[in-house]
Amino acid sequence: MGLVKIVEYDPAWPDEFRDVARQLRRALGESVVRIDHVGSTSVLGLASKNVIDVQVSVEHDSELESVSEELADAGWIPSDGISRDHEVPGWTSDKSATRKRYLGEPPGHRRVHVHVRVLGQANQRYAILFRDYLRAHPYSASAYGTLKRDLALLLRDDSGRYADVKDAACDLIYFAAEDWAETVGWIAGPSDG
């Protein structure tokens, strides 16, 4: 369990993501389909933990392990304990919908979480759709920021419980985002990195 600290939006986060994306692209070359800035630091004005979340999308399930190994060889720190995203109500019981690999930044670098997911799987879509919905709905983003600040105050010493409660709130936003996506004909734009 770690300390949860939410900070105000930092306009340097997009540039910091681009630096991280360049590092990842150097390590992986063209072996990945997409590198995207996801999570709260990717939404203008949204308060967040000061951690850049990056989604690396691979084309096939079989590439999750090989890409993670390439990143580990380049100094990124794999987490053996995280191999899935949380289960979202209504999703298929097929475990491939939530499979991923998760890595942290190399020693001495700024905090980064790298989520390696399979293109087209539900969890890969979730991260990009969630981001795009909040970018298009600043009042929802603001309300989400307030929720995160309040949760951090209540659960500041229990990052695990903080994540569990936040996941349920994210699912509520995600369900609204799916409705929005259908209404506007949303598709994921080009890769960020």
- What does pTM read for this prediction? 0.95
Instruction: Tell me the per-residue pLDDT of 80-133, one tens digit each, with 9 for 90 and over.
Output: 788 999 999 999 888 888 999 999 999 999 999 999 999 999 999 999 999 999
DSSP reduced 3-state for 106: coil
Q: Give the tens place of pLDDT for each residue, 119-161.
A: 999 999 999 999 999 999 999 999 999 999 999 999 988 888 9
C-alpha 137 chain-centroid distance: 18
Q: Choose among 77, 160, 176: nearest CA to 126.
A: 176
Query: Would you list the domain boundaries of the chain?
Result: 13-184
Cβ partners under 8 Å of residue 121, min gap 6: 96, 97, 98, 99
What is the three-class DSSP state of 186?
Answer: coil
CATH architecture of the domain with range 13-184: 2-Layer Sandwich (3.30)
